Structure 1
Amino acid sequence: MNNISVSFLTGPKTTPDPDEENAVKNDYSAAIGALIFSLVFLLGVPGNLFIVWSILARCRQRSVTTLLILNLACADGFLMALSIFFIIYLAMQSWVFGNTMCKIVFYLCNSNMYASVFLITLMSVNRLLAVVFPHTLYHLITRKVVKRVILGTWVLVMAISIPSLVFRDVKKETDDMNQTTYVCAPNHTLRRHVRFEYAFQTVAGFIIPYAIIITSYVLILKRLRETRFQRNIRSEKLILAIVIMFGLFWLPYHVINLIQVAAAWYPKDSATRKRLQDFADLTRAVTSALSFISSCANPVLYTFAGKSYIKNNGFAFMAKLFEGTSSETGPKTTRFTATDDLGKNNVDSENHTLASTQQNRC
């Protein structure tokens, strides 16, 4: 989310040094930005509200996965709701909400960004335990433990988002036509501030969580291929789609973060710094928009995954999607069937345990 509004509003020049020249407003970019945010708002808010309604109104008993999806939808939906501030910001080409709201809005945006990433990570870890360690670790995951972990996650994201309160202020700008505007922009006064904020954001919000996600799904896919039902291609494709979608939306944004960190290491008059900074400024708006759009992608993904339920279940198809299917049994043996995050059967094990009961609930 950092700099997306500033980039769209003022054009491709978003500099970390307070004494560098500000760019002239770009009406075309502002219009494109407002259109993107409007589409995101119209798609993301109803989509995530529908997920919340499906879980709260249709699911009588909620599994670990469903609780995580519920919190993810709340985080994404709240982030989408904040886009109304940026629509007004871009339409008026001036921040009219004051300095306090400038800090609060971007703080909430970053908080929900971290929350989305961490909740997706928890979903992958939960799935790893259910599929790979159903008898040793997964049975230790009770509803009480899950609620404490989720609460701790929200406390953590609220804490690590504090730099957004510190490094952002409203700035007054006057253009060549002597017109005054206000922008809600980063207030990095030292190069180390740039390095700290963007490096911390990328490490905590992408590198560490995504490494955990990739590791989890590699182990999961390895386990799936070792089972009797190793031809469950649809489920494996869905797992890969979630991982790939997450990476496609967030990787470009964090690459630009690292480029901006690298630029801040060079002296102010360095030609290399200028090239890196110019590239980051030119691409910041696009990569920020992609990361923002990711919060409305999950409802679309779930809809495609659950389209086979629409005909028979109507508006309850999403709840049906989150429900676990019944355990498969074979002759003279009882097998444990672990379901994935979207309720598909994936893994056979030797014994029917408490984990199967938890996974076969919505």
Structure 2
Amino acid sequence: MAQMNNITRSLLPPLPSGNETIVDNPTATAVGALILSIVFLLGFPGNLFIIWSILARARKQSVTTLLILNLAIADGSLMGLTPFFIVYLVLKNWVFGNVMCKVLFYLCLVNMYASIQLITLMSLYRLLAILWPQRVASFTGRKTVLRVLAVVWVLVMIASIPAMIFRRVKHKEKNISVCDSFHDYDSHVVIQYTMELVLGFLIPYTIIVVSYIRILRRIRKTKFGRRIRSEKLILAIVLTFCLFWLPYHIINMVQVTWALCPAGPVKTMLDKIWHRSRAVTSSVAFISSCANPVLYFFAGKSYIRREGLAFMARLFEGTALESASRKIRQNSQNCSREKEKDADAVMLKDKEADSVTNSSSNVKPVKNGK
């Protein structure tokens, strides 16, 4: 086996001498390995529990439930990959081969894209449920939602292909290998990381922010102006994803700036920044996938005594019922207005009838033609 590894390393392209890699900083790799270990212990069983709760305990799979199920699948898949990266950071050596280097980082990017796109769909669905509660059911049927989810997964798989193209293993001195993005031209760096920023952050977060601005404005105009639990929960998911993925995208932009910057002291400084920060910021990004089960736990803790292990399923059903109750309240408001109009019309008719009878009673009867 050792001889095979030596042969494999001899076939890998070497790194230029003096080039720094993302595993060269012992502090960064130690912190990254610690973060990933905690994330795995919390996030992997947590997301599996969410998937089990929805599939086995949910009485009805609403739109919100289906979106949360797919989000848990994306997060759980990402958590399942963390042991490989923990080993990589601890050993400071990629021992899994070139194919796994491409596949694992491709799957990471797929699940990153999937998570933010699913959160975007959640925000859009809440917006539709608030603005057009009577029409939302007509275009959010189960088949339609499943088709939309299938399209989302296909698109994120296509968008993640650059990770397989640019990611590969190279070997350093002392039989040490690294799995990193190696680009033949600086333009490749710009394309890959700008694409991640635009598709994985700027576009979806613009949609999310606009959606929640409209949602909050609409809620304030209604009598039921308080933000109910489902809005708070989804808003917490959105903010959590932004908090933990923002450092990763900032380092991406530092690397893009480094690629565009001419040779000089600034380029050297940027090179050190992104190399030394990549391991930590990538590990911090993984926290967002273990944070959602924690958020669901605190949001649904009122169900624990009553429902036991099914508390998570009842929570997701509750978020769906809140949308339905909003529709019922609005329909009841409309019905009450129509009833008031009908009552006013009846009162007018009664008044007219009374006036007619009163006028007829005032006319004296004529006797014997006189």
Which interval holds the TM-score relative to the shorter structure? Answer: 0.7 to 0.9
TM-superposed deviation, 1:89: 1.6
Cα displacement string for residues 81-120 of structure 1 (whole angstroms, at most 9, x for unaligned residues): 0001112222322111110111001011111111111111
How far 1:137 moved relative to its partner? 4.4
Tell me which residue corresponds to 1:119. Answer: 118
Report what 1:22 is aligned to: 20
- What does the per-residue CA deviation read over 1:47-102, in whole Å, with 9 as the maximum and x for residues that have no partner? 00000010001113200110111011011001000001112222322111110111
Structure 2: gaps spanning 5 or more residues? 1-14, 335-370
Cα offset, 1:345, TM superposition: 6.0
Per-residue deviation, residues 117-150 of structure 1 (Å, max 9, x unmatched): 1111111111111111223444221111111110
TM superposition shift of 1:22 = 2.7
TM-score calculated relative to the size of structure 1: 0.81
Q: State the alpha-carbon separation in 1 of the partners of residues 269 and 156 from structure 2.
A: 33
Query: Quick one: which of 253, 269, 273 aligns to 1:275?
Result: 269
Between stretches 91-100 and 114-123, larger displacement belongs to 91-100
How far residue 347 of structure 1 moved from its aligned partner, in angstroms, is 8.8
Q: Which residue of 2 aligns with 1:229?
A: 224
Matched, 1:146 2:126: no
Deviations 1:254-285 (A, max 9, x none): 12212221221122x23222233333333323
Q: Counterpart in 2 of 1:5?
A: none
Q: Does structure 2 conserve the Cα–Cα contact (< 8 Å) formed by 1:224 and 1:346?
A: no
- Contact 1:229–1:346 (CA under 8 A) maintained in structure 2: no
The answer for the alignment partner of 2:4 in structure 1 is: none
Call closer, same or farther: CA 1:159–1:20 in 2, change over 3 Å. Answer: farther
1:262 pairs with 2:262: no
More helix by share: 2
2:188 paired with 1:190: no
**Aligned-residue offset at 1:18:** 5.6
2:344 aligned residue: none
Letter in 2 for 1:338: S
Structure 1: distance between partners of 2:106 and 2:152? 16
Give the 3-state SS of the residue equivalent to 1:229 in structure 2.
Answer: coil
Evaluate the alpha carbon distance shift between residue 131 and residue 264 of structure 1 in structure 2; reply closer, same or farther with a 3 A threshold.
same
Aligned to 2:352: none
SS at match of 2:318: coil
> What residue is the counterpart of 1:338 in the other structure?
323
Instruction: Tell me the number of residue pairs that the alignment of Structure 1 and Structure 2 aligns.
Output: 319
After superposition, the Cα gap between the structure-2 partners of 1:234 and 1:119, relative to the gap in structure 1 and judged at 3 Å, is closer
Given the alignment, which residue of 199, 203, 212 partners 2:198?
Answer: 203
CA contact (8 A) 1:51 1:73 kept: yes
- In the TM superposition, what whole-angstrom CA distance separates every residue of 1:309-356 from its partner, at most 9, and x where no partner exists? 1111111110110113797xxxxxxxxx626xxxx9699423699xxx
Query: For residue 20 of structure 2, what is the amino acid of its counterpart?
Result: N
The residue aligned with 1:242 is: 237
Paired AA for residue 310 in structure 2: A
Matched residue SS, 2:134: coil
Native 8 Å contact 2:251 2:274 kept in 1: yes
Kindly name which structure, 1 or 2, has the bigger radius of gyration based on alpha carbons. Answer: 2
User: Greater shift after overlay, 248-257 or 134-143?
Assistant: 134-143
Aligned to 2:316: 322
- Unmatched 5+ residue regions in structure 1? 1-16, 328-336, 354-362
* 3-state secondary structure, aligned to 1:338: helix
Output the TM-score relative to the length of structure 2.
Answer: 0.80
Query: Residues of 1 paired with 2:304 and 2:108: CA distance?
Result: 33
The one-letter amino acid paired with 1:21 is N
Alignment RMSD, CA only?
Answer: 2.5
SS of alignment partner, residue 176 of structure 2: strand
Q: Percent identity?
A: 55
Residue 217 (str. 1) matches residue 212 (str. 2) = yes
Indicate the residue corresponding to 1:313 in structure 2.
Answer: 307
Q: Distance in 2 between the 1:201 and 1:29 partners?
A: 23
Contact 1:263 1:277 in 2 (8 A): yes
- Alignment deviations for residues 2-58 of structure 1 (CA, whole Å, 9 cap, x no partner): xxxxxxxxxxxxxxx967623584444433322221111111110000000100011
Structure ranking higher on relative contact order (CA contacts 8 Å, 6+ apart): 2
Distance in 2, Cα, partners of 1:46 & 1:204: 29
Q: Is the 8 A contact 1:217 1:239 kept in 2?
A: no
What is the identity, as a one-letter code, of the residue corresponding to 2:79?
A: M
